[in-house]
Chains A and B, each alone.
Chain A
Amino acid sequence: MSSHTNTNENKIILGDQEVLKSDLLTLNMGPQHPATHGVLRVEIKTDSEIVVDAIPHLGYLHRCFEKHAENVDYRGVIPFVDRMDYLAAMSMEWGYALAVEKMLGTEVPKRAEYIRILVAELQRIASHLVFFGTYGIDLGAFTVFLYCFEDREEILRLFEELSGARMLYNYIWIGGVWNDITDDQLARVAKFVDRFEGELHKYNNLVGENKIFIGRTANVGIITREQALDYGATGPVLRGSGVKNDLRKDRTYGMYDKFEFDIPVGSGEKGTTGDCWDRYNVRIREMFESVKIIRQVLAGIEEGPVMGKVPKIIKVPAGEIYMRTECPRGELGYHLISDGGKTPYRLKVKSSCFTHVSLLPAIAPGQMVADLVASIGSIDIVLGEVDR
């Protein structure tokens, strides 16, 4: 074919040279890609190494949990809830149980409240450890993954003894918790947090202060304060952008008002406020705060029953409630609408990960492809919760 006619269209002047014009390249990242932490497909349009546009395609793990919830009774919803954020199933259960308890007016025994906080904070540590480990892998540091999973294993082993399952617990029930915790297990938790606190300092020195790690994360994937609020970001992503907001303090639930802990906020220590390193740092400091809370739980836990009085067949009075709780990945909201029957009329879940995915098209343009991996890793999504 003659190329004369197209010369001007195919070539551009770059400096003083005439070079071939490059087209945008469409690249599919995922759905089967380790850096997407599940089955997220991001359609990336790149100009050589620079991302011009990133379009997330969701739904590969969509199970329509909300439809299922309309068909099972109130207790039966809890196992479904587990399967949303499978790395933080305890936190998912707690939010749902709180919503139903508030509607029923159930009083939860003191000991159950303590156990709930204990497992939720242990879960937060376990979940952040997965983030920590996999984020290392995303950026090419394999060592930290092995350290993290060793510590996470101890938490999972405890949960397995408590509930019988390693990840999908069905442990926090409406009205309390399923099973009591023994003194022996509490002593083990105490031993674990003492050891873990020292270890975490070590890991943080190994990774967070590492020059290569800082180079890969500082000033990368910046989410400004305005952007974070505009897109409705919550949890570590919002706090990484410098907004001091934590439901455990602001709209306290359970017994969090009786515990002392700080809210870590990103301050742009290594780069700009709201970059990947800030979000990483917020999560690390949150683990230290969780350790603080766990110590207070261990000091204050009381003897007593672990299950409150709940009717055999739960019938939530007609009405609606929106219950927000602070999960490891951000705010989880349950919008429960009841018509007085045995099953929820409508149960909508506000997933923080779903909201955070919508931030991707806003922060991706202008990044290198490898930095996009760092950005996706730093917002720490679980696709089970995105797709529900």
Chain B
Amino acid sequence: MHNLIADYLNKVVSGCSAKVNEVSIGDKSITIDSSFVLEVCRALKTSSEFEFNVLQVITGTDYPDRIEISYILASFTKNLELILKANLPRGDKSNLPKINSVVSVWSAANFQERETYDMIGVDFLGHPDLRRILCPYDWDGHPLRRDYVVQEKYLDMVVNPPEKNNTDDQLFGKRLKEQLGDPKKVSASWKDSSASEESEAKDGE
């Protein structure tokens, strides 16, 4: 099925370079060039063969070298499901990665894109109302980035005050303390292969 969709996309949207990610376990997906996302989504929705009439979710994943945006589409008429992916550079605070908004294709994209902007930090060009949605409107940073560090103060309130911090008895609290020397910075940093092996030996038996 995925190969058919990829062929269709390559035929209809020239230059989108749709490529099927073959997997042995879990779900397959299709990766496209991020600059063609709007055209591809429109083509998928209007195609009579696949008819992806529902946008389930837009989500982002932070990797060391890129941000991967996943569009999970479903067709309720043909009973299909598709994970569509686009890779973006990571960018930084002042220069967020940019991708076209698909609100004009599915209205469901409105809240999903706002959440992705809020949590991962991706700028959706052409979105009618790109505000934060889950964090406060004046929050700093994008929490689901792997290198996110909680801001120290928000509106004169201390974020994560030490007396309320109860991470000592938790696995990640211990590891973070060793790595960062500061339990206040609640964040998953990049996986350190040697550290995880150590803790595994401890937890094993």
The residue on B at minimum CB distance from A63 is B134
What 1/0 mask marks residues of chain A from 80 to 123 whose CB sits below 8 Å from any chain B CB? 00000000000000000000001101000000000000000000
Q: Please, how many angstroms separate the alpha-carbon atoms of A320 and B188 in the complex? A: 19
Say whether B171 contacts A64, CB under 8 Å.
Answer: no
B96 contact set on A, CB distance < 8 A: none
Q: Please, how many angstroms separate the alpha-carbon atoms of A322 and B27 in the complex? A: 7
Q: Please, how many angstroms separate the alpha-carbon atoms of A178 and B7 in the complex? A: 46
Say whether B107 contacts A67, CB under 8 Å.
Answer: no
Say whether B57 contacts A231, CB under 8 Å.
Answer: no
Say whether A103 contacts B25, CB under 8 Å.
Answer: yes
A229 contact set on B, CB distance < 8 A: 53-54, 76
Q: Please, how many angstroms separate the alpha-carbon atoms of A342 and B188 in the complex? A: 13
Contact status of A313 and B200, CB under 8 A, knowing A232-B108, A320-B83, A355-B111: yes
Say whether B111 contacts A321, CB under 8 Å.
Answer: no
Say whether B171 contacts A350, CB under 8 Å.
Answer: no
Say whether B171 contacts A341, CB under 8 Å.
Answer: no
- Quick check: is B191 within 8 A (CB to CB) of the other chain? yes
Contact status of A73 and B171, CB under 8 A, knowing A66-B144, A348-B59: yes
Q: Please, how many angstroms separate the alpha-carbon atoms of A321 and B27 in the complex? A: 5
- Quick check: is A387 within 8 A (CB to CB) of the other chain? yes
Say whether B172 contacts A71, CB under 8 Å.
Answer: yes
Q: Please, how many angstroms separate the alpha-carbon atoms of A387 and B204 in the complex? A: 35
B132 contact set on A, CB distance < 8 A: 59
A250 contact set on B, CB distance < 8 A: 76, 79
Say whether B172 contacts A243, CB under 8 Å.
Answer: no
- Quick check: is B10 within 8 A (CB to CB) of the other chain? no
Say whether A62 contacts B134, CB under 8 Å.
Answer: yes
What 1/0 mask marks residues of chain B from 3 to 36 whose CB sits below 8 Å from any chain A CB? 0000000000000000000011111010000000
A388 contact set on B, CB distance < 8 A: 134
B-binding segment of A128-136, A146-154, A191-199, A332-340: A332-340
- Quick check: is A72 within 8 A (CB to CB) of the other chain? yes
A105 contact set on B, CB distance < 8 A: 25
Say whether A230 contacts B108, CB under 8 Å.
Answer: yes
The residue on A at minimum CB distance from B81 is A322
A72 contact set on B, CB distance < 8 A: 170-172
The residue on A at minimum CB distance from B59 is A348
Q: Please, how many angstroms separate the alpha-carbon atoms of A311 and B59 in the complex? A: 30
- Quick check: is B110 within 8 A (CB to CB) of the other chain? yes
B57 contact set on A, CB distance < 8 A: 333, 335, 348, 350
- Quick check: is B92 within 8 A (CB to CB) of the other chain? no
Closest Cβ–Cβ distance, residue B84 to chain A (whole Å):
11
Say whether B25 contacts A333, CB under 8 Å.
Answer: no
Closest Cβ–Cβ distance, residue A37 to chain B (whole Å):
18
A39 contact set on B, CB distance < 8 A: none
Say whether B23 contacts A319, CB under 8 Å.
Answer: yes
- Quick check: is A357 within 8 A (CB to CB) of the other chain? yes
Q: Please, how many angstroms separate the alpha-carbon atoms of A278 and B54 in the complex? A: 22
B115 contact set on A, CB distance < 8 A: 354
- Quick check: is B99 within 8 A (CB to CB) of the other chain? no
19 A-B contacts (beta carbon < 8 Å): A58-B134, A59-B134, A59-B135, A64-B134, A67-B144, A67-B186, A230-B108, A232-B55, A313-B204, A319-B25, A321-B27, A322-B56, A333-B72, A339-B191, A343-B188, A345-B61, A346-B62, A348-B61, A357-B111
Binding site for A on B (CB under 8 A): 23-27, 29, 53-57, 59, 61-62, 70, 72, 76, 79, 81, 83, 106-108, 110-111, 115, 119, 132-136, 143-144, 170-172, 186-188, 191, 196, 200, 203-204
Binding site for B on A (CB under 8 A): 58-59, 62, 64, 66-67, 70-73, 76, 102-103, 105, 229-232, 243, 245, 250-251, 312-313, 317, 319-322, 324, 331, 333, 335, 337, 339, 341-343, 345-346, 348, 350, 354-355, 357-358, 362, 387-388
